[in-house]
Amino acid sequence: MSVSGKSFLKAPELMRSEVVWLKSAKLDLKYSAGAQRVELLVRIIYFVVYLIAAFIANIVGAVCWIIQLLIIILTGKREKSVWGIQAKLLKYIVNFYAYLGLMTEERPPVVPEE
């Protein structure tokens, strides 16, 4: 698999701390070899709770998307407040999937803090 001619299957590429695909968006990941077994058990228990929270966040995100779409069609500009909600939801969902995907031990809040 490659993005911009760089292979993501090589070990050094997997340990990159910053992956940039768009000029206006950035995803910052840091590799950590440590993993706790107890945290894995907690993760299994929290799995259902987090899935329900992510489902609700996705519904809110879809509603924001529709609102933003209508605003762009009518005015030709993005609404900053709707964009802010979408950005917070995206950050929450990415942190949620990084936790459930066993990429971090840092547990995200069930309800977004911001």
Per-position pLDDT tens, the chain of length 114 = 444 444 444 444 445 445 545 666 666 767 777 777 887 888 888 888 888 888 998 999 999 999 999 999 999 999 999 999 998 888 888 888 888 888 877 777 777 666
What does R_g of the chain's alpha carbons equal in angstroms?
17
DSSP 76: S
| Cα 113 from chain centroid (whole Å) | 15
Stated pTM of the model: 0.66
State residue 9's pLDDT score: 45
State residue 114's pLDDT score: 62
The rounded distance, in Å, linking the Cα atoms of 61 and 56 is 9
| Cα 89 from chain centroid (whole Å) | 8
Cβ contact 71:77 at 8 Å: yes
State residue 21's pLDDT score: 56
Cβ contact 78:71 at 8 Å: yes
State residue 99's pLDDT score: 82
Beta bridge partners of 27: 19
